[in-house]
Structure 1
Amino acid sequence: MTIRVLYLAHDLSDPAIRRRVMMLRAGGAEVMLAGFRRDENKLAAVEGIDPIELGITADGRFAQRAASVVKACFAAAAKVGHLRRPDVIIARNLEMLAVANRARTLFGAAVPVVYECLDIHRLMLRDDLIGSSLRRLEGRLGRHASLLITSSPAFVEQYFQPLSDLHLQTMLLENQVLDLSEEQTAPMLAPRPPAAGEPWRIGWFGALRCAKSLKLLSDFTRTMQGKVVVEMRGRPAHRQFEDFDAQVAREPFVDFHGSYKNPEDLAAIYQQVQFVWAIDFYEEGQNSSWLLPNRLYEGCRYATVPIALKGTETARYLSRKGIGLELADASADALKSLFETMTVSRYQAAFEAVAEQDPRNFTLNKADCEAFVHRLAALPTEAGQNGMHAPAGLAAPLLSTQPTIANKVDSHDG
């Protein structure tokens, strides 16, 4: 039986929303999409779906976003009340959880709500009245939810278990590459060292929001005098940079090539570089240390050697698999030391270690999409049934081929 999902998106122009909608549809769900828009991004459009816009929000403007949420809640009847009753409502981020609760009253309280939280905002972690108030708000908004979806076990260990007021069963749904091709074999990949006289290439792709990374990579490539270059692609968060376009234009060894379509363009862009920048300082020591970014899985899928920072969840992930390169500290000197000793044979060894991995570690296929939708279809119609309001813990992960999340947490290596 087809289930009907109302997906409430924090940003309709975010490519991650497109991937989740594609995943739901590949799993057999009928998807209705509604949410806020931050900018125009035609590459984030999903064929066959005309999203309902609830308003315009701005990146980094928390008060403006809160006001937009209040307006959307008041306008929910007019905006989404005419839709067919969903079987499940998925709310991406805290602001959409508020809208989901309002929609739930419109469609009937028996509709299960799923809270999807793939980043922990720094405001949620503050040790003051603002932080505690937001955590209490999250707990109140989530009291009728049936499931929490998050993308890294560190989010559970560092936030949801010790700090959050939520009491939900949790599904780990990592940021793996969506691969809906018929063949589920590893792509034919070959090492791609630079030709004689050509530089090593580091790819920094996806959500470009880290000013510290841009400065670090700029300083490093200048130090290397063209022996290493950085190729950037994706969506810059312009508010996080003093002047993104001007900064990149000044750099002789850093180039920005615009946005790309995910997952369709991934093979082409990753096979143009040897290394992937899997480091983020956007919320250093907190969210940035705990996340497992999209570019980690994308790079590994196409045997692009990831570079991670010691002490982060990304570095621990790579260490468990025995792949990738690790920086001891976030400095141009550390990068210089790494690349001054980089040889073709060393690169090829690092490449082969990634290429020999099971591609299922880095991808979600159609069967996984169907398992995800089946999990949603099995949610109780009333929160609190089947142990859904037991103390916050870890449910079995979506993929049976992965280690259980509980095992990762218990062993303290996840």
Structure 2
Amino acid sequence: MARLDQTPKTVSIVDLSHDGRGVARWPEGDAHAGKTVFVAGALPGETVSVQQTARSRHFDEAKTLEVIAASPDRVTPRCPHFGTCGGCVLQHLAEDRQIAYKQQVLLDNLQRIGHVAPATVLPPLRGDSWGYRRKGRFSVRRVEKKDKTLVGFREQDPRFVADIAECHVVVPQLGFKVAELGALVDGLDARRDIPQIEFIAGEARTALVFRHLQPLSDADKARLEAFGAEQGFAIFLQPGGIDSVQPLSGEAPQLTFRMPQWDVDLLFRPLDFIQVNAKLNEAMIARALDLLDVQPGERVLDLFCGLGNFTLPLARASGDGAVVGVEGDAGLVQRARANAERNGLGNLQFFAADLAQDLAGQPWLKAGFDKLLLDPARSGAIEVLKQLPLKGLKRIVYVSCHPGSLARDAGWLVNEAGWTLREAGVMDMFPHTAHVESIAVFDPPKKG
């Protein structure tokens, strides 16, 4: 492997990459003049001094040493760990420009991958930009050279755990107690046997799930219990797979979040998927329901429904209509049914089905629907879209967490199935990161 050139070099940043790094080319006179280099911590329009950090055949990587000429869009990062921690990569970019960048990423993906463009670009949806992250996973690593146990997100170099004392995007009840959490783990007998701590915040309690590779001593359990009582956290242990999660002691506390606009209260478990940004989630649901425009008596299909995040508000809003939710995780389906009963909703049904597999034998697929809502994982929904009886549907609303898979699926819907991409826009579920959440509306082929 060729050695890296550690000589500081001056480059001009011309663009922002999909992962939030500046894009430049090595200058004339350099041995690799013209080769693309991705620069962490740099913004378009800037002149920066950089140092190479990685090399490959088609591009190089570098970090910013000094900003020689700053962009007018540059702001001072709020978090002292910015630049090392990989949890946020855009804190140095003004928030208005962050959302504009994400919108351009969406439109570029739709054009480049799907060969489509929306007739209308929806105004961006925004929620809380600090202290919003109510679900996530901290990595844990005992570093003997530092005589310290690190708890945090991965560094920008993902081989390492960031040494952080606070996090400004995690919910405040936890984000400003990361140092205490690290000290807790460092004081455990099992400090070398805990690889991760998952967190999830409900309305009343925040739960911490400690993954441990060896059984915990009674002394460690007592330390964890005392920490939970002192800091107000519900402590769970995970000795094995996701089904092994159990409360440290006693009965598991109820974890819930409420969506008052629809008078819906969702109960969830510590490792269940919930949208990370509570306020943005409510705004997203409101927009999805508005775009779906369910009329009296219509039947709505909600695919990848999870715990019923969209399904339950849909059922509440649809009046005498019927709503069907389908999800691949049977445990989530069971809890979605319980949530429907908990909220007194009788006009909906839930089914468990792997939506990436053959669905020919699924009874719900033959029921007939007027509207379709889908919110797939990063891999998208192309397999299920190709199996759905699209004829007869009046509208599709597609919520996406990955612009590339949305663009691919939009391309198929428009260019193969004849639908129209009426509207699309971004939603800032993860401020200060390069993550792009979006929503798109499709209308059916015109008759005749």
- Give the TM-score normalised by the residue count of structure 1: 0.26
Q: Normalized per residue, which structure has more helix?
A: 1
| Bigger strand share | 2
TM-score by length of 2: 0.24
**Larger RCO, structures 1/2 (Cα 8 Å, 6+ apart):** 1
